[in-house]
Amino acid sequence: MSKKFYETSIAANSFSITLLRDALLPSLIGQEGDILYWAGKKIARQFVLTKDEEIPLFFKQAAWGSLARVKSKKNTQTFELTGPVIETRQGLGQEANFLLEAGFLAETIQNQLGHPSEAIVASSKKNSVTLLVKIDLETTLPSENFSKSDVVTPQPNDDEATELRRSR
């Protein structure tokens, strides 16, 4: 890794996440990183979110960035991922991979709606990533019975609660 990688990550207070996501993992699994999509789906099955409004808070607390739904149609949902960690990861001089986030989002929406869902990274522009979730409304999945220990309810910390109140 380069000096720029180190200095950029340290300056943005994101060294641990960029070190793992953009330095270590690509060397272990290759640049494609398709396995990260499936890892995201696995994480969503381990940390089940039952409410739509919990998804952005989980993303923030996981240090994946700020997630916002920007468009919702019958069988597609479009999300934008932004924030300092996105800016940092995109500015490291290599292609950042957001398949972990896409997999998590696809599985979470599938769990919530009961229809097969898949997500793609539709675009990755400077300081933002667009994730598109496609939902197969013609197929209904059997209801998942998650144990109470699998269901998480993200709670905002004091700073996040203040920010939520301001945004309303």
Does residue 167 carry a pLDDT above 80?
Answer: no
Q: Which CATH superfamily is domain 3-137 in?
A: Trafficking protein particle complex subunit 3 (3.30.1380.20)
Give 37: exposed, middle or buried? Use CB within 10 Å, 0-12, 13-18, 19+.
buried
List phi, psi (to 5°) of 63: 65, 35
Residue pair 141/115 in contact (Cβ under 8 Å)? The answer is: yes
Q: Which residue has the tokens 């292609």?
A: 95
Cα 12-15-19 angle, rounded to 5 deg: 140
Confidence of residue 166 (pLDDT cuts 50, 70, 90): low
Model confidence, pTM: 0.85
Q: What is the pLDDT of residues 113-155, one digit of tens each?
A: 999 999 999 999 889 999 999 999 999 988 776 666 678 888 8
> pLDDT tens digit string along 60-73?
999 999 999 999 99
What pLDDT, on the 0 to 100 scale, is given for residue 25? 82
Q: Domain ranges in the chain?
A: 3-137
